[in-house]
Chains A and B, each alone.
Chain A
């Protein structure tokens, strides 16, 4: 197994899929000559040329719609959003065309498309650059929403997303790009829609995804010191949600914390809680506790920003609550 950064794992996935299938191309702002705003596409222009690594003007609606159109006639575009905050300008094409064209056409026309880029907050980027929108996309039938937390997952899931015949919203993280981890050698594919148990445990389940996985792991470590054995379930795919994995863990631990980066109101965690109360009511020993961003736009000040964000300490506190401790 090679140790790669999350960034290089994504780069390898793009390279391998572009080598494998000429229909796959990458399009977005600064993806080619600049080598990518976050260098995910480093070296791809050199290897594949300007036909397949396409710099666009700053026109999210325009180039996303061009990608959707190209996908409707059988190409497999990967559209890079410099950050997912800017995808709001393209949301008409994502929601009204990509997600619906198969249905509206009675199954005649599909949209095998990946829209990818970093989502959520980094550090002190202010309110407009620090937003986790996965629940918006997860609300839409027709879309898949994928959010890897580790380099291995990043590679295996991006390759599967590119091969998927549906529009996939693939949300990365600026704070994840430099993370290192082991990535299996050779062809490495992870099916969409499967959660991963990042740490097995018996006392409480921490359900998380993307940037809440690392804090959940840290929380589990400090909980272990107190004698609480936490299971960490990384959703990896938000839609379709791996209901079986969630319910199996709840059946084992009977106590649940759901952590996510974004806002709580109508968030991903709300959907997970809905599932658990419906399907596993009798398994629960205590109410499910949620951890999420404070219900405010992200402040710039670093102390306020820290106070707004979900972190390991908040997850530990939530576990205490779920376990009626402290």
Chain B
């Protein structure tokens, strides 16, 4: 048996990891619901976010928060432009070509990042040092806690945005019936681009917050594929489901890696396979409620 201390440590690590997957999956699902495009390059927004925040932080003499906000917004603009300038034009093409295109974006972003910031591993100074005591002998690393808190905050914010604001409700409307939304005078194209921006911003935030854990290099965005697996586990198309699925694979992962180091990093896909076999519609079946 594992000592309790290790169990807590692994669980917290996994929870934080799952939250990071969840943040990326949110973007996947939002974009999918708005456009039926699965953006395989979504993890790259996270990678670009981490690099961009690092670049701003260096420019600002190490101050994290302004760099964080500005970096996330920059990636939001990138997401917006990718939809408005590229995706919008190819909508209606076969889903295979759209799939390949988003995969190609991934390669392009990784090369761009390598050209701009180099291929070495960099690290970002964040204010999240040390540990926070949990009571007793347990403690949680501050950087992990920051990810968990940020995820909760972002989820609450998004929930309020989508359920309370005119923009948010219009985005739901457009994802439920695009033509009817057009008929109501809702600027569907602009809202879809804003959805891309929101997805990109959340992924960028995840990248910066995860930087103390993963460090920063051009390959960290590949973690987006695990987030995709998590979203599938939860039932693709459901946001609560995607979050749940990501938390699940996130928590399982460190235990699996600890107990079966030979197949490190593979457990998310095993969980996904199991879920697809046993419950193909995902954990949260999307029967009726297609609420964003």
Whether A associates with B in a native complex is no
